[in-house]
Chains A and B, each alone.
Chain A
Amino acid sequence: MKLRQQRNAPMLYAVGSRLLALLSVLFGVSLISFAMIHLSPGDKAQAIAKARYPESQTFPTDILNAIRVEFHLNDPFLVQYFHWLKNFLQGDFGRSFSSGATVWEIFVGNIGETAILTVSALLFGLVLAFLLATVSVWRPGSFIDRFAVALASIGAAMPSYWLGLLLIMFFAAHLNWLPAYGTGSLSHLILPTLTLGLWVTASQTRLLRAFFLEAKSAPFVETLRLRGVSETEIFWRHILRHSAIPALNMIALDVASLLEGAVIVEIIFARGGVGSLLAGSVLSRDYPVILFLVVFFALTYVAINSLVELLQDLLDPRKGWSSSITCTSVNTEQTS
């Protein structure tokens, strides 16, 4: 009876409390983003006017005043915030100051490039990391193992912008094999994918290797070995499955950081995408676009993190249903 209770009721509780926590974080995220834009120095009306009439330098006060009324710039902060939040929740993200197109249109036009880059880098990086980790746990301490670990350490310390520049210098400028800048054909994708993918390899090789090694010395693997199951079968059928949960967790967390890395890579290789869109909008002070992108990145990050936590609970039967908030508070009350 107690067992059943533990399995079912806390699940709803965990999902519910996590959703509540998620909502409060989303509210905080939107408030921080809006405050960030609101508190940034410089006259917003001036920026809007400059974007609207690019040819003139100074603007008469009545035009600036009209803009202030149009964009509710004279209202108090909280009124402006809830006005924006209401529109945002209804799917109205505003229009770009500089191009006049809706923010959503601009975003949809750019997210594809970023998604392609992120996915291809993730695939490339994971395949390489998997190969390296597999080879290195085959004989721990061997030359190949040490090589893989060293490669991972160096890769983790490698600034991605520098790696990108080196790749451009070698493959594009020196050998002239691949195009350095721009978007379009498949060959444009190779160098950015390498830059971002090697970063994934560096961070995942060490983790995968550690997970594999841990599983390899687990008691159940020892039992299998004693039963005479071959090492190959142990690895492919048991160690891999055993390491899948923690590995999945770390990979999902890397996806969130990958979006971050994509920003820099897009800028170095002058690719289209939300990263270069963000940098461009920050420089031209296109507030609606910046606000939307910042909220988008934060939402993606939060969504991925929450999904990972839920997945972990789902996949790992030993862990049971827990919630980050309730669990700790219960523990403190019990013990103190």
Chain B
Amino acid sequence: MTSIETGHDHLQPQSKPSRTTINRRFKRSTLLMPLAVAAIWCSALMLTPYDPNATNFLLRLSPPSSEHWFGTDQLGRDVATRVLYGGLWSIGLALVITSVGAVIGTIIGLTAGHFGRAADVVLMRVSDSFFAFPELIAAVTIAGLLGPSTSNMVFALIAVSWMKYARLVRSLSVSISNKDYVLQARLNGLPPALILSRHILPNVLPNLLVLWTNGWSRSILSISGLSFLGFGVQPPNAEWGAMLLDGKTYMQTAPHLMIFPGLAILFAVLAINLTGDRLRDRLDGR
């Protein structure tokens, strides 16, 4: 076993950056900003004195004030608190959806790339077929047919999200498996499972991470979009898209109902996109 390890360590430096360099690169500033935002957001969630669903009919549709920073909605609920809690839905659900999609896609991509020609053809044709459905249209149809609810929306979005990961993992892992150090490991008799987990997957991971960040922000837009159309998270739950749908009716009298949830979506997506861009630049520049 040790001889195998050293045999491949000879080839490692030129084709594979060491793990500590990657870690250092990720830690420095790329993850700092999102972590800071998350920390501020969590503390705001804990500090807010209001309940996101507590109604107060004396204070319906009041504009932003020192008491209610983002004003109150048609039932007198504090919009700022609801925007904060809405992030749990939008960002959290998007995280779940993209993670599950990425795991499914990775498994399918690896299977297609490394378990025979038949599996490859079948799995890639299936994922091509799924790819043909525009994401949002498929999601609207699935969520609508199953009935509007949060779990159906999550199912629909996972069903349309795994293909890009499968494609990426398949093409990358196939090209990596042709690299010399993998060949060396194979010649040394390392079992395929170990080659996959130790040599191929770690090298796919950085690119997967970039795609995953990208998918995360897109999922936030999809979740809020579906909820806005009435196919996703249902009122009275405080989700940004659902809040926009609620606020649409009071567009003229209480514009703050529409402005703040929209801004929240914009900032969340922008922040994740920028982090993803930075990650990509860093990985490209290695």
Q: Given the complex of chains A and B, what is the CA–CA distance between A154 and B113 in angstroms?
A: 37
**A271-300, CB under 8 A of B: which get 1 and which 0?**
000000011001101000010001001110
Q: Is the CB of A157 within 8 A of B262?
A: no
User: Which partner residue on chain A sits nearest B258 by CB separation?
Assistant: A165
B137 nearest CB across to chain A (Å): 5
Contact A165–B251 (Cβ < 8 Å): yes
Instruction: For the complex, give the distance between the alpha carbons of A159 and B121 in Å.
Output: 37
Tell me whether A28 and B255 are in contact in the complex, defined as CB-CB below 8 angstroms, given that A278-B141, A335-B178 are known contacts. no
For the complex, is B140 an interface residue (Cβ under 8 Å from A)? yes
Asked whether, in the complex, the Cβ of A161 is within 8 Å of the Cβ of B125, the reply is: no
Partner of B125, one of A24, A278, A328, A335: A24
Measured CB to CB, the closest approach of chain B to A9, in angstroms, equals 23
Task: Output the least CB separation between B152 and chain A (Å).
Answer: 10
CB of B147 within 8 A of chain A? yes
Cross-chain contact B145 with A290 (CB below 8 angstroms): yes
Looking at the assembled complex, report how far the CB atom of A21 sits from the nearest CB atom of chain B, in whole angstroms: 7
Q: How far does the alpha carbon of A218 sit from the alpha carbon of B259 in the complex, in Å?
A: 45
A279 to B144, CA, bound (A): 8
Whether A28 contacts B126 by the Cβ 8 Å rule is yes
Q: Is the CB of A264 within 8 A of B132?
A: no
**Shortest Cβ distance from B172 into chain A, in angstroms?**
12
Query: Which residues from 89 to 143 on chain B have a C-beta closer than 8 Å to any C-beta of chain A?
Result: 117, 121, 124-126, 128-130, 132-138, 140-142
Residue B48 is within 8 A (CB to CB) of chain A in the complex:
no
Contacts known (A29-B129, A282-B145); A161 close to B136, Cβ less than 8 A: no
Question: Across the interface, do B217 and A279 meet the contact criterion of CB distance under 8 Å?
Answer: no
B229 beta carbon closer than 8 Å to chain A:
yes
Bound state CA distance, A336 and B176, in angstroms?
11
Verify A153–B270 contact, CB threshold 8 A. Answer: yes
Question: Is A165's CB under 8 angstroms from B144's CB?
Answer: no
Q: B137, A154: Cβ atoms under 8 Å? A: no
- State in angstroms the CA–CA spacing of A307 and B220 once bound together: 31
B48-61 interface mask toward A, CB cutoff 8 Å, 1 = contact, 0 = none?
Answer: 00000000000000
Minimal beta-carbon separation of B131 from chain A (angstroms)? 8
B interface, CB within 8 angstroms of A: 117, 121, 124-126, 128-130, 132-138, 140-142, 144-147, 171, 174, 177-178, 183, 217, 221, 224-225, 228-229, 241, 244, 248, 251-252, 255, 258-259, 262, 265-266, 269-270, 273-274
Identify 10 new A-B residue pairs, CB closer than 8 A, beyond the known A21-B128, A260-B134: A28-B130, A31-B129, A36-B141, A159-B265, A161-B228, A161-B241, A162-B265, A260-B136, A282-B141, A331-B178
Instruction: For the complex of A and B, list the 6 residue pairs with the smallest distance between their C-beta atoms, beginning with the closest.
Output: A28-B129, A282-B144, A162-B262, A40-B145, A157-B269, A157-B270
- A interface residue numbers (CB < 8 A to B): 21, 24-25, 27-29, 31-32, 36-37, 40-41, 153-154, 156-162, 165-166, 168-169, 173-174, 256-257, 259-260, 263-264, 267, 278-279, 282-283, 285, 290, 294, 297-299, 301-302, 325, 328-329, 331-332, 335-336
